Structure 1
Amino acid sequence: MPDPYALLLAPSANRVYADQAARLAMAELNAFAGVLDTRPDEIATTVIGGVPYLTFTGDLTAQDVAYLSNLSSAFALFKSEGELLRPVTLSPLARYDSDLITIPKYAGKTNEQFTKLVLNLTVLASESAKRMLTGGLTVLDPVCGRGTTLNQALMYGYDAIGVELDGKDVDAYKSFLQTWLKRKRLKHTADLHPVRRQGRKSARRLEVTLAASKDDHKAGATQQVTVIHADTTQLDGLLKPRCADVLVADLPYGVAHGSYDDEGGLSRRPLDLLERAVPHWATLLRPGGAIGLSWNLKVARREHAEDILIANGLTPVEHDDLAHRVDQSIERDVLIARK
């Protein structure tokens, strides 16, 4: 008979997100089923001692627990034994201290738990799903802002590539990452230099090499972060084709953020950006790679976003409903597609 488990959800600083965390965690747990030896069953939200838990049954192996340790909202896992809960030790992929993710605070920053959720779903939908725990993946965020997704990729032990149009965000990310690495006394190099195409300066390129320990550095077990300060729709010559295993993008919500159109005007419609960018983004994905997008449903319908991806040779991946309210003007959804 399968064992009963109870997952305590992590508290969230964002009250609105916390109110919906259980439903999102159920969808994420279902997505993990493809890499587990035993598929979780009887998934439900159960109140135990006045506290909500995500409960399920299954014959979890040690590797299953290792995978589930990375659920974006996992705080603690217990095996139910009658009226008692016996702790199950979690072993999340956490190559660095969590303040790499939590320290940066700025207007428009995406909730860290949600960032991890979208990255997880994208990796799990890709051909690299079975390599989630072993590393060696490259994550591309083509609208990376100040690097929340890039830092989550580093936490997992992956390499990261970002593209950002706002030079101030690129400078802020460089400043934060360098300061953080120095404070942690981690071996690293960081270089921000201009990139020329056809003899003209066309972009800037930040390249950071880091290691989680001195032993890793000596062994050559380093990670790479590359951030391109450029227009994400004009990346020819700046990034090599098939350079990424997964692509994760939190699109402009049409409220405070936007993207520039071909005439140089500011557009707050995420579909405008998708139509121009996806043909470029698709070439950067390796075969079997996956794209994970999040955006504001109040300014772009899901079926229109799916049509753009399908037209560029990508196949949407089915998953449980992940639409959720962020605030009065933002209803956020997630779309995953595979190359």
Structure 2
Amino acid sequence: MASSLALLLHPSANRVYAEASVALTVAELTILGERVLGGRLAEPRPEVIAGVPYLVFEVEDLTDQDLRHLANVSTTYALFEREGDLLRPLALTPLDRHDDDLLSTLKYSGKTNETFTKLLLNVTVLASSTADRMLEDRLRVLDPLCGRGTTLNQALMYGWDAAGVDVDGKDFDAYVAFLRYWLEHKRLKHTLAKHPVRHQGKPRATRLEATFARDKAALRSGAAQRVEVVHADTLRAGEFFRPRSFDVVVADAPYGVQHGSRSTSGGLARRPLDLVAEALPVWIPLLRRGGALGIAWNTKVASRDSLADLLRDAGLEVVDTPGYLDLEHRVDQAIVRDVMVARRP
């Protein structure tokens, strides 16, 4: 039996994404339906009900597990089952383990929107071999261009473990200060340490390591969450993390406008293809077999075909199943952002 559902998008997503939020949510629902709902989710479509815009769709043999997945769609605000002309609200239990100020407190120029970050993480995990375990397992996420930690915080929000690398010392220090404040403000039991990483007696990088839990028992039992961030060039990520230790790698590549990353030549690299080409031999070994790499980038400075060629040449399988080709959207005049996901065989 098919259940007819109406999804109300979060109002903040509408402000940030404007008209793109609907199309992006359709793509995300399509991916979710194919990857974990066994194709039982019919094509979502916009519909206005009593003057309010919704996305409506049908799901065959709707289960509690299906509802748990739908609760984590990046724009989900509320979900209703349609019964004739009436909407019956459905209880949702998202993965969220913490208050949303973990994501919203930090404000700064160039910050990637939290809703998009959640979408990027979601569609990357859904392409991986851990897709059917994302509600139960504690996944391990690496952002090798982590900035001030939006992706790291979304992973922590889900109850997962997170690690990041960033070359910008100010961003690193800002994240250390924020995480310390947040852990203390929430009165979570935690350990937090920042220390130099040395090689042959010389400092090579600075590393933040933190573990936290609701109480001391959980902290001691191994149930605590863990976050690690290294202040270093992303091309050195392999020096700090073990091979095959991450379920997904998620990166927001430089947009070629105000974002950048250090290149091996020592300058600020603003061309995403140059950076990705250099970094793939470092990032891929950190992925587990069946793990997925998700990259967001500005299509105005690099074509989709060019990025896909790089990923395939590096031995990855580019994911082009329904929904994954429909994630392009306009950010501003200079940025048309897209997402590409590839899997490690």
Query: TM-score range with shorter-chain normalisation?
Result: over 0.9
* Structure 2 partner of 1:43: 44
Measured after TM superposition, the shift of residue 234 of structure 1 is 2.0
CA displacement 1:114-154 (0-9 Å, x = unmatched): 00001000110000111110132100000000000000000
Alpha-carbon distance between aligned partners in 1 of 2:155 and 2:243, rounded to the nearest angstrom? 20
Alpha-carbon distance between aligned partners in 1 of 2:313 and 2:156, rounded to the nearest angstrom? 32
Structure-to-structure mapping, 1:275-314, within 5 angstroms: 275-314=277-316
What is the letter of the counterpart of residue 272 of structure 1? D
Match of residue 104, structure 1, among 82, 90, 106: 106
Structure-to-structure mapping, 1:1-339, within 5 angstroms: 1-12=1-12, 15=15, 17-33=17-33, 34-36=35-37, 39-58=40-59, 59-214=61-216, 216-217=218-219, 219-318=221-320, 319-339=324-344
Measured after TM superposition, the shift of residue 260 of structure 1 is 2.0
SS at match of 2:88: strand
Measured after TM superposition, the shift of residue 38 of structure 1 is 5.9
What is the letter of the counterpart of residue 336 of structure 1? V
SS at match of 1:140: strand
Measured after TM superposition, the shift of residue 215 of structure 1 is 5.1
Question: Paired residues, what number?
Answer: 339
Measured after TM superposition, the shift of residue 35 of structure 1 is 1.1
Measured after TM superposition, the shift of residue 181 of structure 1 is 0.8
SS at match of 2:244: coil
Specify whether residues 147 and 32 from structure 1 end up closer, same or farther in structure 2 by C-alpha distance, changes over 3 A only.
same
Whether the 8 Å contact between 1:69 and 1:92 is mirrored in structure 2 is: yes
Specify whether residues 14 and 296 from structure 1 end up closer, same or farther in structure 2 by C-alpha distance, changes over 3 A only.
farther
Measured after TM superposition, the shift of residue 238 of structure 1 is 1.7
Measured after TM superposition, the shift of residue 236 of structure 1 is 3.8
Measured after TM superposition, the shift of residue 323 of structure 1 is 0.4
Measured after TM superposition, the shift of residue 50 of structure 1 is 1.5
SS at match of 2:266: coil
What is the letter of the counterpart of residue 190 of structure 1? L
Measured after TM superposition, the shift of residue 218 of structure 1 is 5.1
Measured after TM superposition, the shift of residue 296 of structure 1 is 0.5
TM-score normalised to structure 1 length: 0.97
Q: What do you get for the CA RMSD once the two structures are aligned?
A: 1.4
Whether the 8 Å contact between 2:167 and 2:262 is mirrored in structure 1 is: no
SS at match of 2:65: helix
- After TM superposition, the structure 1 stretch with the greater mean CA deviation from structure 2, 183-192 or 37-46, is 37-46
Identity in percent: 57
SS at match of 2:293: strand
SS at match of 2:265: coil
Whether the 8 Å contact between 1:37 and 1:60 is mirrored in structure 2 is: no
Measured after TM superposition, the shift of residue 309 of structure 1 is 0.9
Measured after TM superposition, the shift of residue 43 of structure 1 is 1.7
TM-score normalised to structure 2 length: 0.95
Alpha-carbon distance between aligned partners in 2 of 1:87 and 1:320, rounded to the nearest angstrom? 31
Specify whether residues 42 and 32 from structure 1 end up closer, same or farther in structure 2 by C-alpha distance, changes over 3 A only.
closer
Alpha-carbon distance between aligned partners in 2 of 1:305 and 1:82, rounded to the nearest angstrom? 47
Alpha-carbon distance between aligned partners in 2 of 1:198 and 1:308, rounded to the nearest angstrom? 35
Specify whether residues 193 and 14 from structure 1 end up closer, same or farther in structure 2 by C-alpha distance, changes over 3 A only.
farther
Whether the 8 Å contact between 2:13 and 2:21 is mirrored in structure 1 is: no
What is the letter of the counterpart of residue 21 of structure 1? S
Alpha-carbon distance between aligned partners in 1 of 2:195 and 2:94, rounded to the nearest angstrom? 35
What is the letter of the counterpart of residue 298 of structure 1? K
Alpha-carbon distance between aligned partners in 2 of 1:172 and 1:66, rounded to the nearest angstrom? 34
Alpha-carbon distance between aligned partners in 2 of 1:320 and 1:25, rounded to the nearest angstrom? 13
Alpha-carbon distance between aligned partners in 2 of 1:13 and 1:6, rounded to the nearest angstrom? 17
Structure 1, unmatched stretches of 5+, are: none
SS at match of 1:234: helix
What is the letter of the counterpart of residue 53 of structure 2? P
What is the letter of the counterpart of residue 79 of structure 2? L
CA displacement 1:260-298 (0-9 Å, x = unmatched): 222212221111100110110001101000000001111
SS at match of 2:156: helix
